[in-house]
Amino acid sequence: MTSPSTDPRPISATIAVLIRDNQVLLVRRANPPDAGLWGFPGGKVDHGETLFGAATRELTEETGVVAAPLCVSTALDAFDRDAAGTLHRHFILIAVLFRWLAGEPVAGDDALEARWVDLGVLKENELALSRDVAEVALQAAALMSEVPA
């Protein structure tokens, strides 16, 4: 178990949101927070790294997919708590919307699985999803319909 952080400040992280053909790219996370749940590829922003750079790196490391970052679409809070509710880490997740360029997902780094998921499946709660994944994916799909090809 992770011990409570000695630095109480939130940790900045990115998530890569990629919509293609009415599907979203998701990974099943291997590590906390949300180990075993489906979510977006993502991770911490390294010192001196841009948001787009971090999101692109995480997307490549976790899925092997090549994509171009378009814009920041939203930001979320993610809290890593133990069973007793003690806060260990607070992440601020910055969602970066991508346009797919090449490749099919292959799980890598800290992803157990990586695959395209139909947006309709997210609405039906057929997968064990991290908090806000369905909402962020649907918001991204709507935003992608407004972005010129």
Read off φ and ψ for residue 148, nearest 5 degrees.
-60, 145
| pLDDT at residue 1 is higher than 70 | no
CA angle, 134 then 54 then 63, to 5°: 60
33, 117 Cβ separation under 8 angstroms: no
For residue 10, give the amino acid letter. P
Residue 62 corresponds to which tokens in the numbers above? 């976790």
pLDDT band at residue 2 using 50, 70 and 90 as cut-offs: very low
Query: What is the set of domains in the chain, with CATH numbers?
Result: 11-140 (3.90.79.10)
Confidence at residue 44, expressed as pLDDT on a 0 to 100 scale: 94
pTM of the model: 0.90
| pLDDT at residue 3 is higher than 70 | no
Interatomic CA distance for residues 129 and 100, integer angstroms: 22
- In tens, the pLDDT along 82-138 reads 889 888 889 999 999 999 999 999 999 789 999 999 999 887 877 999 999 999 999
- 132 CB-near residues (< 8 Å, 6+ apart): 76
Residue 138 corresponds to which tokens in the numbers above? 């649907």
